[in-house]
């Protein structure tokens, strides 16, 4: 059964989540402190980390950052009361794969968990798949990205979005398609999660280069192309 490590200092919430996960067939351990989190993570191989931000000693964003610095590829879901775009961007830039704001519906949380776990179980592709747009180079087999021979480090979710755009080079990809292909769920109307990720990608793919590659077509979606 998949194992989840939950970092949450609200004991009532922690208990409710643990009970919910157990009923859904998941193993779940809970910790309330950022430093204790790492001690627990060393003892068990977990399939998913769920991190609250405002916790004692070492907050959830710092925990997320340290996980990625250690090159761990375990999916990370941020579960927090902070809804400001700046907080979301910081968490995503440090390597979080998804971000859910409290209060939330347990059904949506479960859908996001299933989506993250499915992606973590996808077998490595046997064929080498290369995408090239202008001076952007994407090795889909090794998940490597370069632009003008400069390596670009992306989070798993950023990479998934870029690969989707590259696979549809020059064609519009709608928000709905992005939601289904990258997150495996239908986003609620009004969510800005996709826009946040597009901006993160632009900062890494286009910001330091003369020719923008990621474009927006209002009412249609996003596309990857050397010129508009």
- 103 upstream amide cis, omega within 30 of 0: yes
Q: What is the pLDDT of residue 45?
A: 87
Q: Tens-digit pLDDT profile for the chain (228 aa)?
A: 789 999 999 999 999 999 999 999 999 999 999 999 999 998 888 999 999 988 999 999 999 999 998 878 899 999 877 666 777 788 888 889 998 888 889 999 999 999 998 876 544 444 578 889 989 999 987 889 999 999 999 998 899 999 999 988 888 999 888 988 888 766 554 568 899 999 999 999 999 888 999 999 888 899 999 875
Write down the domain spans for the chain.
3-120, 130-224
CATH number of 3-120: 3.40.50.2300
Long-range contacts of 204-213 (CB under 8 A, 24+ apart): 204/152, 204/153, 204/154, 204/158, 205/136, 205/147, 205/152, 205/162, 209/135, 209/147, 209/148, 211/134, 211/135, 213/133, 213/134, 213/136
Structure tokens at 80: 């927090």
- Domain at 130-224: CATH architecture: Orthogonal Bundle (1.10)
Structure tokens at 126: 């046997």
Residue whose entry in the numeric block shows the structure tokens 């340290």: 66
Q: What is the pLDDT of residue 89?
A: 81
3-state DSSP assignment of residue 138: strand
Whole-model pTM: value is: 0.60
Report how far apart, in Å, the C-alpha atoms of 10 and of each of 42, 55, 113 are.
23, 9, 20
Enter the DSSP assignment of 173: B
Q: How far apart are the first and last CA of the chain?
A: 48
Q: What is the pLDDT of residue 146?
A: 94
**Bridge partners of 214?**
224
């Amino acid at each position: 059964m998949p194992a989840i490590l939950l970092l949450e200092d609200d004991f009532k919430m922690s208990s409710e989540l643990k009970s919910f996960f157990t009923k859904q067939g998941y193993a779940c351990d809970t910790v309330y402190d950022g430093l204790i989190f790492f001690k627990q993570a060393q003892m068990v191989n977990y399939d998913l980390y769920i991190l609250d931000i405002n916790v004692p000693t070492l907050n959830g964003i710092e925990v997320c950052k340290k996980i990625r610095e250690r090159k761990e590829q375990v999916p990370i879901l941020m579960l927090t009361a902070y809804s400001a775009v700046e907080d979301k961007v910081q968490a995503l830039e440090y390597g979080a794969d998804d971000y859910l704001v409290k209060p939330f519906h347990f059904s949506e949380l479960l859908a996001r968990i299933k989506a993250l776990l499915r992606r973590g179980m996808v077998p490595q592709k046997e064929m080498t798949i290369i995408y090239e747009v202008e001076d952007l180079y994407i090795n889909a087999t090794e998940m490597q990205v370069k632009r003008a021979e400069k390596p670009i480090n992306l989070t798993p979710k950023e990479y998934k979005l870029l690969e989707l755009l590259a696979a549809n080079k020059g064609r519009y990809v709608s928000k709905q398609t992005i939601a289904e292909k990258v997150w495996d769920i239908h986003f609620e109307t009004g969510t800005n999660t996709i826009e946040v990720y597009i901006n993160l990608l632009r900062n890494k793919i286009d910001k330091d280069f003369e020719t923008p590659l990621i474009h927006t077509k209002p009412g249609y979606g996003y596309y990857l192309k050397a010129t508009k």
